[in-house]
């Protein structure tokens, strides 16, 4: 292979961004300069969503306005509800999310307007409506009645309410809020780069987010949290964990939830998410997954010097909260819409068509023979 080729664009800087960065000097992922773990401690998810979209944390007046606009835009059209009702029950919820956002684009009167002001309004609508679409499908595939959004509830509370018909204790809501904050943004990851690539052709925000969702579905990106839960279900109980991970490493199997291209000495989001995983496990009085988690993590670090990424604690946390495994990545979506939207608008602001080159390795020039001579 040509040494000049950087497979996966490894190490290639393709553009500039103000949205987020992993800052080595503080060993932390930062959003607009704020450490993600500090945001988890002091802010609700709505404040962080505002920060990512508007470049700074809101004051109380700005936050109330933002929350009011988000809550007023949660409802879906009758048409979209009907489409969701007729989706195959066995559809993956990520495909539902992708299709729902695409339909929102068909229904949005500002679809063709990609001005910053219009994109801000559309971003808020996509952000507000996508959880409603996913929760509607969550209910429908279980044969239950759709629960409409409630304006008196926070973003996190409302999603629980629409899925389960009730809001859990505040500690569970806080843990969910933390997961949304940690998933909200992560610079030029695969789905974000997909969104920016689509945007670079001057396509619309609904199309860019639809493409980003398709990218996030993959198990090497957002789908990893689901794969972590599948792995833990294979292990079944803590007493099996050591043997399972040893065999996996011996057979050179990929252990999901470990390693990250950006972090070399551990994902800075993990300690915070691990703390809230423990809190949820304690509330639910279920320590099984924590024990499996600790055994597998210890072996991976000792044997391979590979640390967990944020998907590793998030998967079992969502499971303990009561969500179906295939809904873990869609939860990632409802958070990451904020980051994608910020990057889409940043791309528009200083756009250059993203069009890399490829090194050709096919046949040399060949002459076309007529059909009767082939």
Q: What is the pLDDT of residues 52-99, one digit of tens each?
A: 999 999 999 999 999 999 999 999 999 999 999 999 999 999 999 999
Kindly indicate the confidence band of residue 185, based on its pLDDT and cuts at 50, 70 and 90.
Answer: very high
In this structure, are 316 and 330 located in the same domain? Answer: no
128 is a domain residue: yes
352, two tokens: 């250059």
Residue 291 lies in a domain: yes
- Give residue for tokens 């990424």: 309
The tokens of 66 are what? 């933002």
- For the stretch 85-144, pLDDT in tens is 999 999 999 999 999 999 999 999 999 999 999 999 999 999 999 999 999 999 999 999
Most confident of 51-55, 249-253, 354-358: 51-55
How far apart, in whole angstroms, are the C-alpha atoms of residue 168 and residue 158? 11
Domain for residue 368, yes or no? Answer: no
Say yes or no: 333 and 201 in one domain. yes
Q: What CATH number is given to the structural domain containing 242? A: 1.10.230.10
In a domain, 157, yes or no: yes
Q: Please indicate, yes or no, whether residues 249 and 207 belong to a single structural domain of this protein.
A: no
Q: Which residues belong to the active site?
A: 221, 260, 311
Percent of the chain past pLDDT 90, that is, above it, reads 89
Is position 94 within any domain? yes
* Whether residue 163 is found in the same domain as residue 301: no
What is the CATH number for 113? 1.10.580.10
Given the structure tokens 């063709």, which residue do they identify?
A: 112
Report which of residues 147 and 27 the model is more confident about.
Answer: 147
- For residues 107 and 177, state if they share a domain: yes
Q: What is the DSSP string of 66-123?
A: HHHHHHHT-PPPHHHHHHHHTS-TTS-HHHHHHHHHHHHHHH-TTTT--SHHHHHHHH
Task: Give the domain range for residue 211.
Answer: 18-218+326-349
- Based on the fold, state whether residues 214 and 228 are members of the same structural domain: no
**4 occurs within a structural domain:** no
Mean pLDDT of the chain: 95
Residues 296 and 200 in one domain: no
Same domain (yes/no): 30, 116: yes
Number of domains in the chain: 2
Judge whether 312 lies within some domain: yes
- Write the pLDDT tens digit of every residue in 261-311: 777 678 999 999 999 999 999 999 999 999 999 999 999 999 999 999 999
The pLDDT value recorded for residue 264 is 66
The pLDDT value recorded for residue 92 is 95
The residue with greater pLDDT, 72 or 4, is 72
Rounded to 5 degrees, what are φ and ψ at 363? -65, 150
Q: pLDDT band at 222, cuts 50/70/90?
A: confident
Q: Are residues 150 and 39 in the same domain?
A: yes
In a domain, 364, yes or no: no
Separation between Cα atoms, residue 86 and residue 275, nearest integer Å: 40
Query: Residues 109, 201: one domain?
Result: yes
- Based on the fold, state whether residues 238 and 341 are members of the same structural domain: no
Same domain, 205 and 135: yes
Interval 352-368 mean pLDDT: 93
């Amino acid at each position: 292979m040509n040494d000049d080729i950087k497979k996966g664009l490894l190490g290639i800087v393709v553009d500039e961004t103000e949205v987020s960065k992993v800052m080595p000097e503080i060993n932390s992922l930062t959003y607009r300069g704020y450490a993600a773990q500090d945001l988890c401690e002091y802010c609700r998810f709505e404040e962080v969503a505002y920060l990512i979209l508007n470049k700074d944390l809101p004051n109380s007046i700005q936050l109330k306005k933002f929350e009011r606009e988000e809550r007023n835009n949660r409802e879906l059209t009758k048409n979209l509800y009907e489409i969701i009702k007729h989706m195959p029950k066995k559809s993956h919820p990520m495909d539902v999310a992708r299709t729902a956002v695409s339909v929102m684009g068909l229904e949005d009167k500002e679809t063709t307007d990609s001005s910053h002001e219009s994109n801000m309004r559309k971003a808020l609508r996509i952000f507000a409506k996508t959880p409603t679409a996913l929760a509607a499908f969550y209910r429908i595939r279980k044969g239950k009645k759709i629960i409409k959004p409630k304006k008196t509830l926070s973003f996190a509370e409302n999603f629980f309410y629409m899925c389960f018909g009730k809001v859990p204790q505040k500690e569970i809501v806080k843990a969910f809020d933390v997961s949304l904050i940690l998933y909200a943004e992560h610079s030029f990851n695969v789905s974000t780069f997909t969104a920016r690539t689509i945007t670079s052709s001057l396509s619309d925000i609904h199309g860019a987010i639809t493409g980003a969702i398709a990218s996030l579905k993959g198990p090497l990106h957002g789908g990893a949290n689901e794969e972590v839960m599948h792995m833990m279900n294979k292990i079944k109980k803590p007493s099996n964990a050591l043997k399972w991970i040893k065999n996996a490493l011996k057979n050179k199997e990929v252990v999901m939830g470990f390693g990250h291209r950006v972090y070399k000495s551990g994902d800075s989001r993990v300690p915070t998410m691990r703390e809230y995983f423990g809190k949820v496990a304690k509330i639910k009085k279920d320590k099984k997954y924590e024990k499996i988690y600790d055994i597998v993590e210890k072996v991976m670090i000792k044997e391979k010097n590979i640390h967990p990424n944020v998907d590793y604690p998030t998967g079992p946390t969502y499971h303990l909260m009561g969500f179906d495994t295939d809904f873990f990545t869609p939860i990632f979506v409802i958070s990451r819409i904020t980051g994608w939207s910020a990057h889409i608008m940043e791309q528009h602001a200083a756009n250059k068509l993203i069009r890399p080159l490829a090194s050709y390795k096919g046949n040399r020039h060949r002459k076309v023979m007529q059909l009767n001579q082939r």
